[in-house]
Structure 1
């Protein structure tokens, strides 16, 4: 056979052998470019995990590089893993979709600002790299504002980050905490969600959702805290590390670039 390398023929045999008995998977992989399938066979040995990435790549139209990045960041282990009270506070199927939308942990490797960064540093960095931040949040998030002002009873309040989710049709309030989760964080989020629902939510919107991102959490404490909250709230950890997948290192900003960008944001706020 002309035009096929030995390596390509090896992948073709592997491809035929691995999917020959699973018709619905055959139909799915047929929707992916050959290069995507080669990387999936090389990088994802577990069949269930591979099926996850096949479905996600098709649904979201991932490029090969984006797919590889999501594999290296272990998306299949994080998607839908946040602790939430959505099942009790949201109607079905909104509760299931909202729960699946959130991850745990969130990986903010692109910030490259170190593990001890304070929440305001992380917040500025996320806004400064909004494209990468939105990619990690997932499809459907539209940025509304940072330190978004809420006037409640003639007093000023500011939520860290405000988004609108196009699929869920609701506002999402994100609060960043640079320490371990504390129960009082949920009470504050409950208040913010009440204010957003009253001041911003349109009558056709779904109830607003809160996401608290902490450096660490006690799962038992988190579940007890969210159990009796009146608003739908999710809780997850976030990671800011120096260990980056090789495939995305070259695309990330240097420390100097990030410092310059944060300085620019800081100067604009003065």
Structure 2
């Protein structure tokens, strides 16, 4: 067998290899109709077989290497049999082959393999993983967006805004609106001065409109900044106005670079009422208001929203995320940079 290890039972190995070849040929035929689903169903079968064999035979770590070489030789045009991918397949099955995961297996076959790998590598537990599988299917997000969502901890931020949606919207619409809100919003793609003003924050967001749309989530369409409303010969301006394509609702966003104050809710309620009267058509649902501030006290927000009759949510924002401790020592200090510059000059 050359570099191959001597297996304890060569006949059993040959039977397993033959079975996998037959199974994959069958999957290849069906793949012309349902490429991803059929392939991932085969990956599931393959992963279960790998785990079963490694549990029942004393073949050691070389088993995967041998299997990779033999399957790649039998199907040279297929890249999915690399040693690295076989390890991913085994990890994937191990992650989901439990009481909770088995209920979701059919959904796993409906999302791309690359998405599946990202989810099992980056999620801390199965509940978080289930959230991202369902969110991927619901919104059809790309792999890069999925990575962004996981790394920005969307799982723990979604639906967290303090709001009055239950009191101002029908139950089904209330649940849908909660899904589009987060707390906090992560604006770590912005580079603005330390003593920034609200106008500077607003302009920075617009300059990074693609990033802000990604952070807001699927379905948001940008309408305008400092959107002008004329009421009884007076001019009022909304910080940011969006339209949500799935909710069929305008979304008014007001930005505050300080702590939440009760009067902010009243002003946002005024804007939402005005948009309902001036912009909303018969086919649109209720306009939604979202106030995003630097700090808030949840109890104060709850009191401020209690008797307001328009749907409003209040969240905080973060300009930067905390640097992991293991990376802190790798970032040079200002003094280190100055010393390096001086050394370069001296040289």
Same fold (TM over 0.5): yes
1:153-177: per-residue Cα shift (whole Å, max 9, x none)?
2111111011111111111111000
1:213 and 2:292 matched: yes
C-alpha distance in structure 1 between counterparts of 2:179 and 2:232, whole Å = 35
Tell me which residue corresponds to 1:196: 275
Q: How far apart are the structure 1 equivalents of 2:228 and 2:124?
A: 48
Query: 2:129: which partner in 1?
Result: 50
> Which residue in 2 is equivalent to 1:248?
none
For 1:181-260, what aligned pairs fall within 5 Å after superposition?
181-241=260-320
| Higher gyration radius (CA) | 2
Determine the C-alpha separation between the residues in 2 that align with 1:244 and 1:28: 34
1:17 aligns with 2:94: yes
The 3 A distance-change label for structure 1 pair 37 and 91 is same
- Count how many residue pairs are aligned between Structure 1 and Structure 2: 245
Please give the root-mean-square deviation of Cα atoms over the aligned residues, in Å.
1.7
Tell me the distance in 2 between the aligned counterparts of 1:129 and 1:241: 15
**Worse-matched range after superposition: 2-11 or 169-178:** 2-11
Task: Say if 2:188 is the partner of 1:109.
Answer: yes
> Shift of residue 242 of structure 1?
6.7
142-151 or 4-13, which moves further after superposition?
4-13
In the superposition, the TM-score normalised over structure 2's length comes to: 0.67
Q: CA deviation at 1:29?
A: 1.3
Deviation at 1:45, TM superposition (A): 2.6
Partner of 1:34: 113
SS at match of 1:178: strand
Does structure 2 conserve the Cα–Cα contact (< 8 Å) formed by 1:112 and 1:241? no
SS class of match (1:109):
coil
Q: Which runs of 4+ in 1 moved over 6 A?
A: none
Task: Return the TM-score normalized by structure 1.
Answer: 0.86
Whole-Å separation in 1 of the counterparts to 2:195 and 2:157: 22
Q: 1:54 to 1:218 in 2, by over 3 A?
A: same
Query: What is the match of residue 144 of structure 2?
Result: 65
Say if 1:227 and 1:137 are closer, same or farther in 2 by CA, change over 3 A: same
Over residues 19-61 of structure 1, what are the superposed CA-to-partner deviations in whole Å (9 max), with x where a residue is unaligned?
2343331111112222222222221131100111111122222
More RCO (CA 8 Å, sep 6+):
1
Choose between structure 1 and 2: higher helix proportion.
2
SS at match of 1:111: coil
Q: Which runs of 5+ in 1 are unaligned?
A: 246-270
Residue 220 of structure 1 deviates from its aligned partner by: 0.6
- Pairwise CA distance, 1:244: 7.7
Q: Could you report, residue by residue, the CA deviation over 1:65-116 in whole angstroms, capped at 9, with x for unpaired residues?
A: 2211111100101011111101000112111100111111111111122554
Give the secondary-structure state (helix, strand or coil) at the position aligned to 1:39.
helix
The CA distance in 2 between the partners of 1:12 and 1:164, in whole Å, is 41
Task: Give the Cα–Cα distance (whole angstroms) in 2 for the partners of residues 219 and 50 of structure 1.
Answer: 28
Corresponding residue to 2:175 among 96, 100, 108: 96
In structure 2, the CA distance between the partners of 1:242 and 1:36, relative to structure 1 (3 Å rule), is closer
